[in-house]
Amino acid sequence: MKTTHRIASALGLGLALLVLLLGLGGARGASAGPDEPAAPVAPMAPMANAGWVEIGAGSASGGGVSGKGAPGNIRRSTDPSVTVGADGRPVVAWVDYTGDSTRQIYVKRWNGSGWVEMGLHSASGMGISNNVQQDAMTPSLTTGPDGKPAVAWANTGMGWQTYVRSWDGSAWKELGPSSASGGGVSWFPGDAGVGASGPPSIAIGPDNKPVVTWGFRHYTGDPHQVYGKKWGGATWDEIGQGSAHGTGISKAIDDFGHADAPSIAIGPDGTPVVAFEAYHWDQDAYAGLVDIYVRYFSGGNWEEMGVGSASGGGISRTGKAALPSIAIGPDNMPVVAWMDRSNGKQNIYVRRWDGTTWQPLGQTSAMLGGISDTTFQAWDASVAIGPNGLPVVAWINKVSNPAPQEIYVRRWSGSAWEEIGPGSASGGGISQTDRMSTSPAVAVGPDNVPVVAWQEPTSDPQLGGELNIYVRRYAGAPVLNHHAFVGAVFK
């Protein structure tokens, strides 16, 4: 799931951009609405590489699922988020800019034979954001047990605020009178004009009620915080006292410290868990460090998940970590993936909560080359977990300059991080183009099959500068249920 997650630099909210000088780069399903009757499942397009196939011809070529523009009206589709529901059909949300001076949130769904809009103009015109002289950015998409997806995004309504809409089976509706207008769900009177909200991360628990988190950057110099609210059925409520103002969920109090880039997941038991970046000062090293912190809601408060999970070195313990993504499996145990620079290169690290401590998944998943073990740069991790309890991580990989950026994917087998099909984390990966593939988002369906969406420049020279949304799924050997963690770490 991607909290991810994130073009934070566009909002001026990316703590990682400030500290690490990086470019910043999902969640689960939906039932058919009346505008899109269920269709027979069509055969997938021919296999492209590594067992990863297009979902319908052209979903990972040409204009992708977003659709190609035309000379003079170049399309820029960015920041995808993907979900797969109980029906096994993916839904994708993204930011779309078609030259009308505004950026909108678009949504499409695979109905078994094609990529279709969910409701009137969900992927045309002003989309589901319906902005006039405003911009929408960084969507986060998820689905509840009832099969109805919800999208949160950052919007320039009254300053940068967090907006939410939910699919009710026929249309994208606000949850409450102003969840996608005015101050959205993030508005707090005392914060008017003193900061900006975004990018958000959304999750839905077993009660079908969305929980949204976002980073709040204070213009006043106060520490940046992570805030959150939950839909109560009539209003958006704080989750415990002060979760959406003051020190919020993150509880950053160091004048030199900040919190940002939250990623939220909710376990089968209904407990929300949030991972985020935390910038803190280390007096011994006399340096500013960035680590990954985790808190969960328990007993009416946002508590550390294990001693030190939200203080000091957090769960990363390197001082050079950023951009976390969190998912929770059927065993209620969270898994967090992030980008880390502690080995002198950018690699993808992973840890899992075992009920007592945050353990690596494999001996080197949180040290040395991590699960990516790249020769140059790996970043923008997205993690998801299917019914079999096995985490799947997608990320951007670049082996050198001027080599292209590719989308790589690995899965934890229970004892090792393995490719999902030959070449899914080597060579051209699952994207396999000569262009700059970015912003991966992964989801896993009820059949344990992963689906990955990403952003891709067009190869059409007449449409230079165009960006499209591509989607592939794994169509190789089926994945067996494998709940047990075995090997050197979990048994």
3-state secondary structure 231-247: ECCCCEEECCCCCCCCC
- With a CB cutoff of 8 Å and minimum separation 6, the contacts of 19 are 279, 288, 290, 322
Instruction: Give the residue numbers spanning the domain of 198.
Output: 8-474
In sequence order, what are the beta bridge partners of 418? 411
Apex 46 CA angle, 43 and 48, nearest 5: 140
- Residue 486: inside a domain, yes or no? no
Residue 261 CA to residue 1 CA, distance in Å, equals 14
pLDDT confidence of residue 88: 94
- CA 38 to chain CA centroid, Å, is 27
Bridge-based pairing state of the strands 47-49 and 52-54? antiparallel
Per the CB < 8 A criterion, the answer to whether 459 and 81 are in contact is no
Bridge-based pairing state of the strands 301-304 and 287-298? antiparallel
pLDDT confidence of residue 176: 94
Nearest to 291 by CA among 305, 281, 304: 281
Residue 127, both tokens: 């989309």
Point out the residues of the chain with pLDDT beneath 70.
1-50, 98-100, 190-193, 255-256, 283, 285-286, 461, 477-491
pLDDT confidence of residue 485: 40
- Residue 133: inside a domain, yes or no? yes
For residue 242, the domain's CATH number is 2.120.10.30
Provide the domain count of the chain: 1
- Residue 481: inside a domain, yes or no? no
Residue 184 falls in which region: left (phi positive, over 0), alpha (psi -120 to 50) or beta = left
Residue 361, both tokens: 């998944």
Per the CB < 8 A criterion, the answer to whether 263 and 325 are in contact is yes
Bridge-based pairing state of the strands 195-204 and 172-174? unpaired
Determine the residue type at 439.
S
Residue 263 CA to residue 213 CA, distance in Å, equals 7
Three-state SS sequence of the chain: CCCCCCCHHHHCCCHHHHHHCCCCCCCCCCCCCCCCCCCCCCCCCCEEECCEEECCCCCCCCCECCCCCECCECCEEEEEEEEECCCCCEEEEEEEECCCCCEEEEEEEECCCCEEECCCCCCCCCCCCCCCCCEEEEEEEEECCCCCEEEEEEECCCCCEEEEEEECCCCEEECCCCCCCCCCCCCCHHHCCCEEEEEEEEEECCCCCEEEEEEEEECCCCCCEEEEEEECCCCEEECCCCCCCCCCCCCCCCCCCEEEEEEEEECCCCCEEEEEEEEEEECCCCEEEEEEEEEEEECCEEEECCCCCCCCCCCCCCCEEEEEEEEECCCCCEEEEEEECCCCCEEEEEEEECCCCEEECCCCCCCCCCCCCCCCEEEEEEEEECCCCCEEEEEEEECCCCCCCEEEEEEECCCCEEECCCCCCCCCCCCCCCCCCEEEEEEECCCCCEEEEEEEECCCHHHCCCEEEEEEEECCCCCCCCCCCCCCCCC
pLDDT confidence of residue 117: 97
- Residue 262: inside a domain, yes or no? yes
